[in-house]
Copies of this chain bind each other. A is one copy, B any other.
Amino acid sequence: MSDNTVREPIQKRSIEKKEKIIKYGFELICEKGYYNTNTAEIAKAAGVSTGIVYSYFTDKHDILLEGLKRFANSIFYPSVDFINDIEINENNLEQIIREIISKFIKNHKLSKSAHEEITAMAHSDKDVANFFHENEIEMTNVVTGLLKKNGFESKDLMERVHIVIGLIDNICHETVYHKHKNINYDTMTNIVINEIVHILTK
């Protein structure tokens, strides 16, 4: 998005300003929705003038994208670094997945509206869509590599991991939002976890 006419701030105060616009702008967009947030509000929330916004960003859309780059990971993918430090094997796999899901759900609950709004944009805005596609494939690669390092040898492991990520996304979303009264989400989660183990170890 950003092109040459958009200043790349060098001085410290400028950088801070840009960061504030991204932070508070993205925050507002997540809370109220992209179309229900206007640039004046963003500027106000960031403590800058409306004019200066257009020195750092080509347009409103650009703020969204920059916000994504900064914050999407922390919103969508909570830190699960602990899996780097332990040995994953068929015995502790179930427990690890359970913990990951638990962390994802906790995260999801923390920023429900952000999750929804950004998911919505991911389905209606090309740039946002691309961002997430790239993120997903990267995550798939990382997890696949990790599992391989830990001795998982399933055929088509990458495809399996991709399916698993989808399952986790889905169960989290279901648990946080849907609350269909006849569905027991704990039960559902247990089944999903079993299934994930099955996919990865078969």
User: In the complex, what distance in Å separates the CA atom of A162 from the CA atom of B40?
Assistant: 43
* 0/1 interface trace, chain A 27-58, chain B, CB 8 Å (1 if under): 00000010110101100100000000000000
A54 shortest CB reach to chain B, Å? 12
Which of B40, B159, B182, B198 has a CB less than 8 Å from the CB of A187?
Answer: B159
Q: Which of B35, B120, B180 touches A123 (beta carbons < 8 Å)? A: B120
Is the Cβ of A183 less than 8 Å from the Cβ of B36? no
Is A140 within 8 A of B195, CB to CB?
A: no
Give the secondary structure class of A's interface.
Answer: helix
A110 on the B face (CB < 8 A):
no
Question: Which residues of chain A in 107-145 are interfacial with respect to chain B, using CB atoms and an 8 Å cutoff?
Answer: 116-117, 119-124, 129, 133, 136-137, 140-141
A166 to B, closest residue via Cβ: B170
Whether a CB of chain B sits under 8 angstroms from the CB of A81 is no
Q: Is A11 an interface residue (CB 8 A)?
A: no
Check B140–A162 contact: CB distance below 8 A.
no
Interface assignment of A85: CB less than 8 Å from any CB of chain B = no
Chain copies in complex = 4
Q: Mark A133-173, 1 if CB is under 8 A from B, else 0.
A: 10011001100000000000000101110110011001100
Is there an interface contact between B198 and A184, defined as CB atoms closer than 8 Å? no
**Which 9 A-B pairs have CB atoms at the shortest separation, nearest pair first?**
A120-B124, A120-B123, A159-B188, A166-B170, A119-B123, A120-B120, A137-B180, A116-B123, A156-B187
Q: What would 11 more interface pairs be, CB under 8 Å, given A2-B40, A136-B180, A167-B170?
A: A1-B36, A2-B38, A3-B40, A35-B35, A120-B124, A123-B123, A137-B178, A137-B182, A162-B183, A166-B170, A167-B167
Binding site for B on A (CB under 8 A): 1-3, 33, 35-36, 38, 40-41, 44, 116-117, 119-124, 129, 133, 136-137, 140-141, 156, 158-160, 162-163, 166-167, 170-171, 174, 177-178, 180, 182-184, 187-188, 191-192, 195, 198-199
